[in-house]
């Protein structure tokens, strides 16, 4: 089912974005087919394939999301960006089962997914520029010459092509994560793991290696 849904959604959404989507209820080869241009907030459906798609955006990037209808029967959704697409099990948007530009999504642990999202945020924010970290625990990330090395530690990516992170930089100041977790910062600002800004990116300073996670803070302020 996952394969068939993916193919149907891919064809339907790609045709829609190219201005070739068919009118609801029309046969694919019907001579009366119409052309639609999707704009932010628009939605379209294809009853013949029991598929619905909606045009939206995330982090300033336009996206088209498609799923089977009725929603109660849908198992997966497909999200199309300008230069990428994701397939995820409904209810688990932060853990895609497929990414066109970042195929090493599976198998990953929960912490591995957090690391992928973090590196995607670094790519979204800094592009292909050199990224480095500073601070006592190398927890404040920025982009620049990374000099002097006594202050800045160059960061080497694990994932290639990670983009469109669901994490974002926030103006909120989060602290109070316990004895060992510390906030991971981008240009001195906290990173939140969800739209509601209730969990924040942390680093375990007592862990072996670069171990990240998302956690609620004991104190949050502006």
Question: Would you give the end-to-end CA distance of the chain in angstroms?
Answer: 46
The domain boundary residue, chosen from 100, 121, 149: 100
Q: What was the pLDDT predicted at 19?
A: 45
φ, ψ (nearest 5 deg) of residue 71: -60, -35
Q: What was the pLDDT predicted at 61?
A: 73
Domain around 81: 2-100
The domain boundary residue, chosen from 76, 100, 124: 100
115 and 187 belong to one structural domain: yes
Q: What was the pLDDT predicted at 106?
A: 52
Residue-wise pLDDT tens for the chain (222 aa)?
A: 444 444 444 444 444 444 444 444 444 555 677 888 888 899 988 899 999 999 988 756 788 999 998 888 888 999 888 777 888 888 877 667 776 664 444 567 888 889 989 999 999 999 889 999 999 888 999 998 888 999 999 999 988 778 888 899 999 999 899 889 999 999 999 999 988 899 999 999 887 778 888 999 888 887
151 and 125 belong to one structural domain: yes
pTM (global) more than 0.95: no
Q: What was the pLDDT predicted at 29?
A: 56
Q: What was the pLDDT predicted at 21?
A: 41
Give how many domains the chain has, as a whole number: 2
Structure-block tokens of residue 55: 């045009």
Residue 116 burial (10 A CB sphere; 0-12, 13-18, 19+)? buried
Helix (H) or strand (E) holding 173: strand 173-175
d(CA 133, CA 118): 13
128 and 34 belong to one structural domain: no
């Amino acid at each position: 089912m996952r394969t068939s849904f993916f193919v149907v959604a891919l064809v339907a959404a790609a045709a829609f974005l190219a201005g070739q989507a068919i009118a609801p209820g029309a046969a694919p080869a019907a001579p009366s087919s119409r052309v639609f241009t999707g704009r932010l907030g628009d939605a379209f459906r294809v009853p013949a394939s029991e598929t619905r798609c909606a045009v939206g955006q995330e982090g300033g990037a336009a996206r088209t999301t498609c799923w089977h209808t009725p929603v109660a029967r849908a198992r997966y959704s497909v999200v199309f960006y300008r230069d990428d697409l994701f397939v995820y099990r409904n209810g688990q948007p932060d853990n895609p089962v497929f990414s066109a530009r970042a195929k090493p999504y599976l198998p990953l642990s929960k912490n591995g997914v957090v690391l992928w999202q973090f590196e995607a945020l670094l790519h979204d924010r800094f592009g292909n520029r050199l990224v480095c970290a500073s601070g006592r625990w190398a927890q404040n990330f920025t982009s620049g010459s990374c000099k002097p090395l006594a202050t800045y530690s160059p960061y080497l990516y694990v994932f290639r092509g990670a983009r469109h992170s669901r994490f974002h930089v926030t103006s909120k100041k989060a602290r109070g994560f316990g004895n060992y977790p510390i906030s991971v910062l981008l240009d001195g600002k906290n990173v939140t793991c969800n739209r509601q800004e209730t969990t924040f990116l942390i680093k375990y300073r007592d862990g072996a290696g670069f171990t990240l996670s998302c956690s609620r803070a004991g104190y949050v302020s502006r």
